[in-house]
Amino acid sequence: DTAVSQTPKYLVTQMGNDKSIKCEQNLGHDTMYWYKQDSKKFLKIMFSYNNKELIINETVPNRFSPKSPDKAHLNLHINSLELGDSAVYFCASSLMGGETQYFGPGTRLLVL
């Protein structure tokens, strides 16, 4: 059973479109995260959610919006996609308090 899953694995789309990436975890964790990995492999936190509340929002454009229907899901919705949004997006989950974060397989987004 996959602990943290993401769909889709690959996403190719045109500039200006709106897209969503879904994430689900079956680990019973309290907190979920979205990270972005750019073309140079640099990983940076975008959002984290704890018990359906956004607890930190890094300086990402407001075109990006996380949505959490329940504790096991944290989806990422992106409006008006831009070329610079092309990256790999990773979902992760953990218990609170500095516990280990477990990552999903990543979604490779390519904006044309």
The minimum distance between CB 105 and other proteins, in angstroms, equals 5
Q: What share of the chain is helix, strand, coil (3-state, %, to 5)?
A: 5, 55, 40
Nearer to other proteins, 15 or 54 (CB): 54
Q: What are the φ/ψ torsions at residue 42 (nearest 5 degrees)?
A: -75, 130
Nearer to other proteins, 81 or 92 (CB): 92
The minimum distance between CB 93 and other proteins, in angstroms, equals 12
Residue 26, SS3 per DSSP: coil
The minimum distance between CB 12 and other proteins, in angstroms, equals 16
